[in-house]
């Protein structure tokens, strides 16, 4: 299927791009045209120009925050709040969505690392490479302090090899256990050999945490020769024999031994599956497609219906030198990307940040719920944990395990669903007779020209990305606004008792939980 063309490009498709590439539009709404202003701006460009506009991002310096914020557990809350604020900012939302992808991919949890500065530096590393060289990012992840701690790399020595990181490097970060023909990409012996290549790395930091880094110790490194990806008759008899890589012994060359982990990554990126395709490119293209578009059924032993689009994206990725920006540009231009609406449940981050952004939530004191003068508290932990993202199943910087969050339909349980409803209520709450007490202002999305209930409903459906809602749902929403037309759309009572509750209801609809 070809890329989306100009005839299919309109404010609705542009709004969908903003929803998936970032966290939705910025809440600035054109009452005259009945649509988000940024979506309208993008729709007047050619699709290629619109995607380039979104991906033309200035990447900030690597260190996100000062070291003083990392001296206690409160430092993690500060780091979470800092990241959420960047997601809310239109200038950085698309970049932060990529950082979120990388955080879910290289899942590392604060609950085990227990050092906020390590998590902050890893987050900064993701941001540094978010639009750049994925191969180089993996090389940096090898010796990242948070990852060295998380998967026991600091304990991997020549006398006591630790295979934890080597296994996840291949299984979850680069190759996948099986290729798309159902054959194993690596064997247990490959894990052992990779662990030997990664031995000798440790973590150091100074007293004030101004310096945190992985460093190499030659005496802890296995200097003997290693062989990777040789076909194993017991495990990988069909593996492409061209994958075989031999790392020679380096008994005294410190520089050669220090860079051994980098040559390991080059060997992995040179890996070809049993169909002769670049394994890493296929694996990462599929991961990006699953995160941004929908979950294709291309795992081993399942349908290969979506494999053509995965391979076309993989080709772009490989030919670009594994550049993430090139991969995402190709992905956001695919017609299949826009045809995949409604197939994936929003993550808590996407649900919460998207709602605040698209409703142009304001920073103010929510006296009934918190003393903090910020929407971040509402988003991050709610009131005593009610209605916050952690209670919806996603605590940033703390995925449940190395497999990360399961995602999609696993986001919805009886507990997490109730917390989504609680968040919707809290976001739309107002003190009777005072709309200024609400985080959102419903009058911003209603025009004095709206004389019918249907006009109000259609505006809000488009605003929240549900313009394609079914007729039955639309009619029920119209009825919610009252028994008859005409209406007085800007009358305070109507805004407080009809429009604000209508927005809360829309945020609670099953239709709104997916994108």
Cβ contacts of 505 within 8 Å, gap of 6 or more: 477, 480
Q: In angstroms, how far is the first alpha carbon of the chain from the final one?
A: 21
CB-CB neighbours of 287 under 10 Å: 17
**CA-CA distance, 257 to 217, in Å (whole number)?**
10
In the three-class reduction of DSSP (H, G, I as helix; E, B as strand; rest coil), residue 50 is classed as: helix
pLDDT attached to residue 48 = 97
Cβ atoms of residues 495 and 446 within 8 Å: yes
pLDDT attached to residue 385 = 60
In the three-class reduction of DSSP (H, G, I as helix; E, B as strand; rest coil), residue 341 is classed as: coil
Cβ atoms of residues 221 and 199 within 8 Å: yes
Low-confidence ranges of the chain (pLDDT < 50): 66-72, 364-373, 431
48: enclosing H helix or E strand: helix 47-55
**CA-CA distance, 55 to 350, in Å (whole number)?**
19
Cβ atoms of residues 154 and 202 within 8 Å: yes
CB-CB neighbours of 7 under 10 Å: 6
**CA-CA distance, 503 to 506, in Å (whole number)?**
5
pLDDT attached to residue 429 = 76
pLDDT attached to residue 509 = 96
pTM for the whole thing? Answer: 0.93
pLDDT attached to residue 209 = 60
Rounded (to 5) percent helix, strand, coil in the chain: 50, 5, 40
**Burial class (CB within 10 angstroms; exposed 0-12, middle 13-18, buried 19+) of 93:** buried
Closest-CA residue to 172 (of 240, 94, 108, 109): 108
């Amino acid at each position: 299927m070809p890329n989306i063309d100009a005839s299919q490009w309109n404010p609705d498709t542009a709004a969908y791009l903003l929803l998936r590439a970032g966290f939705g539009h910025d809440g600035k709404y054109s009452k005259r045209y009945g649509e988000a202003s940024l979506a309208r701006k993008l729709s007047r460009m050619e699709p290629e120009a619109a995607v380039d506009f979104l991906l033309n991002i200035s990447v900030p310096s690597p260190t996100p925050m000062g070291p003083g914020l990392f001296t206690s557990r409160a430092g993690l809350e500060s780091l979470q709040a800092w990241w959420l604020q960047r997601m809310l900012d239109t200038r950085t939302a698309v970049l932060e969505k990529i950082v979120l992808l990388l955080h879910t991919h290289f899942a590392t949890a604060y609950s085990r690392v227990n050092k906020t500065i390590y998590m902050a530096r890893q987050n900064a590393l993701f941001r540094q490479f978010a639009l750049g060289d994925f191969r180089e990012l993996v090389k940096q992840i090898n010796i990242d302090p948070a990852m060295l701690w998380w998967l026991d790399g600091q304990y991997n020595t020549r006398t006591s090899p630790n295979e934890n990181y080597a296994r996840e490097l291949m299984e979850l970060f680069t190759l996948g256990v099986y290729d798309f023909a159902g054959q194993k990409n690596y064997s247990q012996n490959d894990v052992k050999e990779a662990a030997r290549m990664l031995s000798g790395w440790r973590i150091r930091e100074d007293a004030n945490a101004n310096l945190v880094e992985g460093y190499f110790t030659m005496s802890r490194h296995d200097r003997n020769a290693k062989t990777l990806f040789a076909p194993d008759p017991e495990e990988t008899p069909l593996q492409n024999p061209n994958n075989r890589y031999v790392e020679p012994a380096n008994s005294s060359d410190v520089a050669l031994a220090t860079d051994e982990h980098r040559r390991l990554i080059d060997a992995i990126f040179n890996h070809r599956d049993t169909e002769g395709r670049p394994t890493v490119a296929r694996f990462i293209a599929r991961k990006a497609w699953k995160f941004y578009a929908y979950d294709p059924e291309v795992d081993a032993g399942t349908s290969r219906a979506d494999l053509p689009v995965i391979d076309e994206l993989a080709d772009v990725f490989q030919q670009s030198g594994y550049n993430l920006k090139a991969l995402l540009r190709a992905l956001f231009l695919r017609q299949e990307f826009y045809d995949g609406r409604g197939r994936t449940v929003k993550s808590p981050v996407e649900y919460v940040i998207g709602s605040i952004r698209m409703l142009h939530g304001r920073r103010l004191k929510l006296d009934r719920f918190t003393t903090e003068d910020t929407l971040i508290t509402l988003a991050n932990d709610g009131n005593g944990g009610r209605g916050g993202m952690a209670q919806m199943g996603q605590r940033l910087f703390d995925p449940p395990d190395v497999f990360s969050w399961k995602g999609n339909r696993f986001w919805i349980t009886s507990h997490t669903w109730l917390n989504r409803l609680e968040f919707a209520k809290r976001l739309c709450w107002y003190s009777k007779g005072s709309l200024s007490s609400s985080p959102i202002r419903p009058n911003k999305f209603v025009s004095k020209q709206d004389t019918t209930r249907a006009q109000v409903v259609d505006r809000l459906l488009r605003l929240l990305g549900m313009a394609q809602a079914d007729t039955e749902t639309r009619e029920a929403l119209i009825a919610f606004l009252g028994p008859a037309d005409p209406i007085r759309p800007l009358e305070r009572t109507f805004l407080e008792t009809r429009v604000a509750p209508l927005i809360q209801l829309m945020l609670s609809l099953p239709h709104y939980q997916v994108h």
